[in-house]
Amino acid sequence: MFKSFLILLLSLPFVANAQLQADKSVHDFGNITYFNNDTAYFTFSNTGGKNIYLLPTQPKDNYAVLCSSKTIAPGSSLLIGIVYYTDKKGNFSQDIPLYFSNSNTPTVLKIKGNIKSIRETAFSICPSIENSRPLKNDQIPLSITVRDANTQEIIKIAQVKVQKNYIDYNCVPGFEAWNYKCKVDYGIVSVFASKKGYSSNAIDFNYSEKNHDCVIFLTPIIDSTEKKPVIIPEKKPILITEKKLETKKEKDSIVIPETPVYVPVAYADSGFNSYKYKPNHLIFIVDISGSMRDSGKLNYLKKSIKELTSVIRPGDFITLITYTNKVRVVFENLSGLDRKAIDRAIDTLKAGGGSNGSQSLVIAYELARKHFIQNGNNQVFIATDGLLNSSKMSNEDLYKLASKAYRQDKVILSSIGFGQDLKAIEFLQKLAKHGHGNFIRINNPDTDMKNLIEEVKKQCKI
C-alpha cells in the first residue's frame, strides 16, 4: 500500500505550494557535449483564485533567472528560464531559490549536468565585464533583439556586443533565445550585431528605464552570382558640408551624407511604420460583467484586441485589466514580441457577474505611470456597454480623473461603447473628451472594430 502511494506521489507534478504548481523541480541536462549557456525551462501554473507574483531575485554571478512576465494570473502559467554560467568542465549542480508573493518560503529549483567541453561563445559570468559596476536593484537590463531586415524574423545565435565609453560589454541569450541581455549603465550605447550570411550592423541606442528594448536589423548578403552589375557614375557625388552649396540649380543637386545614418526599418505587415509612429503602451480595461455576454459583445472585443496585437511592434506594450464586481490585472506591460502569451490570456476572458469599473480606471492610470514610455503614446482604452457604477466616485469625479491624468502625465483615455444605452454612450463620449481621446461606437462589429487600430495610429503618429 505504501509503495503504491509513493509511486503515485512521484508521478504527480512538482508542487511549489498550495496555489502554485511547477511541472518539475529538477532539470538534468545530462552530458553536454558543447556547453553554451544552455537554458533550463520550468513551467509554473496558478491553481488559485488570485494573481501570484514572482518577486525580484538577487543577481548571481553563475546563473540568471529569465521570464516573459512576473505575474501569474489565476488559471494561467508562466515559463521561467534558468541560464547557467561557468568556465569549468565536469559535473555541476546548482540550486536556485525563487520567491513568490503567496509564500514566505522559497521554491527551490535545481539544475545539473555534466559538461564535456565549452564553446568559445559561452560566457562564464553574467553579461558584464569584470570591472563593470553591478546593476542597481531597480535597473532594468538592456534587452536586444536581432531581426532580419527583409522578413522581420528573429535571428537567433547571433553575435551581439554593446559598447559604452569605449568599453565592451558582453551579451548573452535571453528568454527563449529570441533576445540578448546585457548589464550596462543607462545612457547612449553602441550596439553591434553580426551573423554568418548577413551584413554586420551597428546602431546607437539611448538606453534608459523607459527605453530598454533595442531592436537591430541585419541585411542578408546576396550571393555574388546573383548580383547585377553596378554602374559607377562618372561625376563624383556632392557631399554635405557646413557651407551652403552655391549653384544656380541648387534644388536639382544630388546630396549624399558623409556618414551613414541609421533609419529604422518599417514592419511591412503591421501598418505601424517604425519611423512614423511613436512606441505605445496600451492599457485595456474590459468590462466582463454579465451584460457583455449578450450579442457576443465580449467575443467581438477580444477579436479586435487580438487583431491589434497582431500588428504591434516589439517596442509596443500592452496591459489588460478586467472588472466585474472586482478588478483584476490579467497581465501588465507585455511586449509585442509576446503576442502568443497576450492572445492566450485574452482567450480566457469570460463574461459574468456584476459591474463596478471606477476602481479599474484608477489602477489603469497607476500602471500607465509605472510603465510610462517617455515621448511615446501612453493610452488607456475602456470598453463597456454601461456606466462605471461606483458608490465612491461620481461621473464628474471620473471626468476630473481623466483630465488630470492627461494634464499631468499626458496619458490619453479613449472609450469603446457597445449597446443602445444613451446615458452610457453620453458618459463614454464625455469621458473620452476629458481624456483627450476618442469615442469608438460599435454598431457593426465586423467593420467598426478596425477603428481601434486607427485610433491607436492616430494618437501615436509622429
Residue of 267 and 283 predicted with greater confidence:
283
Query: Mean pLDDT of all residues in the chain?
Result: 76
Dist CA 72 CA 52 (whole Å): 5
Q: Is the pLDDT of residue 11 over 80?
A: no
- Residue 118: what pLDDT? 78
Lowest mean pLDDT among 43-47, 98-102, 154-158, 414-418: 154-158
Q: Tens digits of per-residue pLDDT, 25-83?
A: 999 999 988 777 777 888 899 988 888 888 866 556 678 777 767 788 888 888 888 88
- Residue 445: what pLDDT? 59
Domains 13-115 and 280-460 share a fold: no
Dist CA 258 CA 239 (whole Å): 6
What is the pTM assigned to this prediction?
A: 0.46
pLDDT category, 15, cuts 50, 70, 90? low
Domain boundaries, the chain: 13-115, 142-220, 280-460
**Which residue is associated with the grid cell 479613449?**
414
Here the cell at position 293 is 455576454
Dist CA 110 CA 93 (whole Å): 7
Domain 280-460 CATH (choose: 3.40.50.410, 3.30.390.10, 3.40.50.620, 3.30.413.10): 3.40.50.410
- Residue 327: what pLDDT? 86
Q: Tens digits of per-residue pLDDT, 352-407?
A: 777 777 888 999 999 999 999 888 899 999 988 877 766 678 889 999 999 999 99
Residue of 99 and 428 predicted with greater confidence:
428
Query: What is the signed CA dihedral for 335, 340, 343, 348, rounded to 10 degrees?
Result: -120
CATH no. for 142-220: 2.60.40.1120
Q: Is the pLDDT of residue 321 over 90?
A: yes
Q: Is the pLDDT of residue 205 over 90?
A: no
Helical (H) or strand (E) element with 112: strand 107-115
Dist CA 122 CA 120 (whole Å): 6
Query: In terms of Cα–Cα distance, which of 455, 431, 68 is closest to 282?
Result: 455
Which superfamily does 13-115 belong to? Immunoglobulins (2.60.40.10)
